[in-house]
């Protein structure tokens, strides 16, 4: 007979992800080129394809057409149709193929044309991809690229910020860069990680955000936040487009704000969050996703539970309205947190 099961919390948690020891890779040469985020992501994908010969890219119109955002343009000429594969308009099938490839020892990247469309493959993500290693030790070595975000007049079905849907699902890792340099480095790290990584890319940042990006291959650790700027009056904890909103608002208001870019949502960098809270005692959590049930609620709860004695004001949140993303420009502007951000920052400053 089987011996009695003796459960331990440590063993349970260890089963959620395949063990992975991250080894940071620095560029071998110092050369860097000014790149838009869209180009940095494309560069990272290209270098990942060169490094991992078992990597297959899948998505709608990603081969000859290069994808709706042109990130894989010319890839099929270099790597061929066997590794750069157009797929049917059937997200559940594409994601299922990623599971099958991993079982056969392959790596994959799935480009969800818009992050909204993942709903058509939701079962594959939350019940197969996320849980497979926990259930029977089979990891799913895939990166799901998720073009996300509003502010581009695309309406309710092409603009959602849906990272919180997956934040609540054990077994997934979630990355959301705000700079071109981070986008490339974190993407390359995602391909080295044998666990499923959801890689959120804000569409409005593709061609509006640029910066110096190392030309060579490099990685950035998943789960480590980045301190954007020091400040003594209040702290803003944010990610994605929120980093740029917070930086601009603080400058316009003349507020000496400490801004923390989470970069990774799963796992969260609790050490960096703790340091940021203790640095100012006043904390605003900012994200584009709708307010109720957003990631800001979890961060706020954690701060109140673990760092209450360091607070000089209630933890505040600023996020989008609890509505679908509107089409009309004026309604979309009202929907986004930027419509309320300066007011909330001033309220926190004056508390």
| Segment-wise mean pLDDT, segments of 10 residues, the chain, 351 residues | 91 96 96 98 98 98 97 98 97 98 98 97 98 97 98 96 97 98 98 98 97 98 98 98 98 98 98 98 98 98 98 98 97 98 98 96
pLDDT of residue 256: 98
Using DSSP's 3-state secondary structure scheme, residue 148 falls into strand
pLDDT of residue 54: 98
24: phi then psi, degrees, rounded to nearest 5 = -70, 135
Report the relative pairing of strands 173-175 and 264-266 from DSSP bridges. Answer: antiparallel
pLDDT of residue 129: 98
pLDDT of residue 1: 82
Residue in 133, 139, 158, 244 annotated catalytic: 158
pLDDT of residue 2: 87
Decide: 171 and 232 in contact? Cβ < 8 Å: no
* Domain 34-214 fold: Rossmann fold (3.40.50)
Q: Which two tokens stand for residue 258?
A: 């400490």
Indicate the CATH number for domain 226-350. Answer: 3.40.50.920
Domain ranges of the chain: 34-214, 226-350
Q: What is the largest CA-CA distance in the chain?
A: 70
- Mention every residue, 6+ apart, whose C-beta is less than 8 A from residue 118: 91, 112, 125, 144, 146, 162
Task: Look up 158 and say whether it is catalytic.
Answer: yes
- Tell me the C-alpha distance between 8 and 96, whole Å: 32
Decide: 195 and 173 in contact? Cβ < 8 Å: yes
pLDDT of residue 257: 98
* Fold agreement (34-214, 226-350): yes
């Amino acid at each position: 007979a089987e011996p009695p099961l003796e459960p331990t919390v440590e063993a349970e948690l260890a089963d959620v992800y395949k063990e992975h020891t991250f080894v940071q890779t620095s560029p071998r040469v110092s050369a860097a080129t000014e790149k838009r985020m869209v180009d940095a992501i494309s560069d990272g994908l290209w270098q990942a394809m060169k490094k991992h010969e078992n990597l297959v890219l899948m998505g709608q119109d990603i081969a000859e057409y290069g994808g709706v955002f042109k990130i894989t343009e010319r890839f099929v000429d270099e790597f061929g149709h066997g590794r750069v594969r157009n797929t049917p308009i059937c997200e559940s099938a594409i994601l299922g193929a990623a599971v099958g490839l991993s079982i056969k020892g392959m790596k994959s990247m799935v480009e969800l044309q818009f992050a909204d469309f993942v709903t058509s493959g939701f079962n594959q993500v939350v019940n197969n991809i996320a849980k497979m290693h926990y259930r029977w030790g089979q990891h799913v070595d895939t990166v799901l690229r998720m073009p996300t975000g509003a502010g581009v007049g695309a309406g309710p079905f092409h603009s959602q910020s849906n990272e919180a849907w997956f934040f609540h699902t054990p077994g997934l890792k979630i990355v959301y860069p705000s700079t071109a340099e981070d986008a490339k480095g974190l993407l390359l790290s995602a391909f080295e990680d044998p666990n499923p990584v959801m890689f959120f890319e804000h569409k409005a940042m593709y061609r509006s955000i640029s910066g110096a990006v190392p030309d060579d291959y490099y990685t950035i650790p998943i789960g480590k936040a980045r301190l954007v700027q020091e400040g003594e009056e209040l702290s803003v904890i944010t990610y994605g487009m929120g980093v740029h909103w917070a930086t601009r608002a603080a400058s316009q208001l003349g507020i000496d704000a400490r801004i923390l870019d989470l970069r990774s949502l799963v796992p969260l960098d609790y050490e960096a969050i703790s340091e940021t809270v203790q640095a100012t005692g006043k904390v605003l959590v900012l994200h584009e996703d709708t307010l109720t049930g957003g990631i800001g609620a979890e961060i706020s709860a954690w701060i109140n539970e673990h760092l209450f004695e360091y607070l000089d004001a209630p933890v505040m949140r600023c996020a989008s309205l609890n509505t679908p993303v509107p089409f009309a420009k004026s309604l979309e502007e009202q929907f986004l947190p930027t419509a309320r951000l300066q007011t909330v920052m001033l309220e926190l400053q004056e508390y």
